[in-house]
Amino acid sequence: MRSTAEWRFWGRYDPMWAVATWEGRQHDGPHPWTIDDFLAAGRSDCTDIMRQWNQYGRKDGGRCVEIGCGAGRLTSALVDYFDRVLAIDVSVDQIELAKRFLGASVTRVTFSIVEEPVLDVRPGTCSAMISTFVFQHLSDYSGIVAYLRAAHRALQPGASICFQTPVPGADNGDLPSAAARTLDSVRSRVSRALGRRRFMEYNRYPVERIVSTLEEIGFQDVEMRIVRLASTNRRQSFFFARKPGLHSNGA
């Protein structure tokens, strides 16, 4: 993915702020992230997400795949809900931080560094997949599709997925205009062409496109929910879907 180089830059330059881009929390900002604050925000978000995911019908235990684990902000909380976590990321630096931040819990997490949207796991061996604040930064929609296809292969029958990605008309209603999004896309292309890495590409896709993609891959019971995260008091768009069970007719 073209965006991989940028995220490896952020993993070196400001890894915690790159994961949670809160105003003033940059490493050189007035209130830089501390490890405790960073992990506490992750636990808060995980609590809010799990409330919705459990209501949807999440399976307890098993192994959860986390796409884009970063420095382990959410990973540190996921081990309270799953037996094991397969945490993947493109940044070696982020994963090394995550290993340090997780402390004793690190023994229940397997980390994987990837170059492309793939999951190095045997088919049908995972009970869940989660991804937050990742898909919006991928440089091409095909990367999202590839990850969702890989997740479908990795999941056990009846297992579910939960992922966040912004959509027009939601997420606090503060998404930029079409003109602003076009300008942002042009800036990203120019920065990438010039070899600059200090930028974040930010994409959003219509609900209908994401739902259609999930259904074409083979997921069912697709839902989008607007979830307010207490850590920021902001609304975020989350999608839930399920791999058909062994006795499902896929209807």
Which tens digits make up the pLDDT trace of 226-246? 999 999 999 999 999 999 997
Cβ count within 10 A of residue 223: 14
Token pair belonging to 2: 């073209």
Q: What share of the chain is helix, strand, coil (3-state, %, to 5)?
A: 40, 20, 40
Alpha-carbon gap, residue 103 to 106, rounded angstroms: 6
Check whether 213 has a pLDDT greater than 70.
yes
Tell me the whole-structure pTM to 2 decimals.
0.90
Strands 84-89 and 63-67 come out as parallel
Average pLDDT over residues 105-115: 96
- The rounded radius of gyration (Å) of the Cα atoms in the chain is 17
Cβ count within 10 A of residue 220: 15
CB 232 within 8 A of CB 204: no
Predicted local distance difference test score (pLDDT) of residue 155 = 98
Check whether 176 has a pLDDT greater than 60.
no
> How deeply is 206 buried, as exposed, middle or buried, from its count of CB atoms within 10 A (0-12, 13-18, 19+)?
exposed
Predicted local distance difference test score (pLDDT) of residue 9 = 92
Cβ count within 10 A of residue 189: 13
Strands 234-242 and 220-229 come out as antiparallel
Predicted local distance difference test score (pLDDT) of residue 196 = 63
Predicted local distance difference test score (pLDDT) of residue 75 = 98
Check whether 149 has a pLDDT greater than 70.
yes
CB 46 within 8 A of CB 26: no
Alpha-carbon gap, residue 79 to 105, rounded angstroms: 7
Check whether 69 has a pLDDT greater than 60.
yes
CB 38 within 8 A of CB 92: no
Average pLDDT over residues 220-224: 98
Closest to 3 in 3D by CA, of 178, 191, 210: 191
Predicted local distance difference test score (pLDDT) of residue 246 = 73
Between 248 and 73, name the one with better pLDDT: 73
